[in-house]
Every structure is written in C-alpha cells, then in structure tokens.
Amino acid sequence: MSKVYSALEISRHNCEKDIWIVIDGGVYDLTKFLKEHPGGEEVLLNLAGQDGTKCFAEIGHSGEATALRETFKIGVISYLPSITPGTIETTTLPISDDDGDDDKDWKYEEPTKESSPYLPIFISISILMYAIILYYLIY
C-alpha cells in the first residue's frame, strides 16, 4: 500500500533541496534527480510542489523515462473533499481528468469574501452628505 499525501503537504516540498511533484496521481521525490534531469533543473523547479501530469505528458517522455520516474515514487495524493463536524473523510482520486485543467482539482483556493449588503447604501449616503455640506459651504 502506498503512502498517501495531502496536496498541502506536497506543496511544502517546493525548493531545490526538497522537490516533490505529482504525476498521474503519484507523488515523486525528485530531489536526487534534479541535477540529472535531461530537460534541466528549471523545468522541475517550476513544477515543484505541484501537479506535473500535463507537462510530463506534453513532453512525450519515453518508456525509459516513465520507468525511471517510478523509482522516485514515494506515494499517492489524497483529497479531502469535505469536513463536517465530527467526521473527516479522505478519498484518493486520480489527478488527470478530461477537462485538461489538472491543477484545479487539488490546489488550495482562498474562500471568496462577500461584501456587506449595506456598503452601497453607506457609500450613497456618504456622497449625499458630502454634496449637501459642499453646497452649503459654497452658497
């Protein structure tokens, strides 16, 4: 059984001395391979701590490269679809999907902040008061 890593944990391994990359749902520690990578270090460093599935596929790596990649495999990525009070449930899902946007499935996204419904009213009243004060000061 493979060790399961969260996207957050993987994202922390994003530098030259500690580089993990996700490819096809597998987690690979490429730290020792970085200097040997035929495409150069920069390619791997740009994907450090992220999903490199699309990039790996686009380059068209040979069967040898794919076999070599597996020697660096340390586990698989997991997903935490939802947390409800009293339960934590994890599910392992594949990274690749048919929509072509592999990264969106597991990267952390900041929650959207809703503005106050009273903000437009407050701004309107402030502008009106400013106009009234300005009117009385000028005339």
Region 126-131: what's the mean pLDDT? 90
Say which residues have a Cβ less than 8 Å from residue 12's Cβ, sequence separation at least 6: 49
Mean pLDDT of the chain: 77
Measured CA to CA in angstroms, residue 99 lies from 3, 46, 61, 118 at distances of: 27, 22, 22, 39
Residue of 16 and 111 predicted with greater confidence: 16
State the burial class of residue 99 (Cβ atoms within 10 Å of its Cβ: 0-12, 13-18, 19+). Answer: exposed
How far is it, in rounded angstroms, from Cα 57 to Cα 62? 10
Domains and CATH numbers, the chain: 4-105 (3.10.120.10)
pLDDT above 50 for 70: yes
Q: Which amino acid makes up residue 41?
A: E
Note if the pTM is more than 0.95: no
How far is it, in rounded angstroms, from Cα 5 to Cα 92? 10
pLDDT above 70 for 134: yes
Written as six digits, the tokens of 104 are 């969106």
pLDDT above 90 for 20: yes
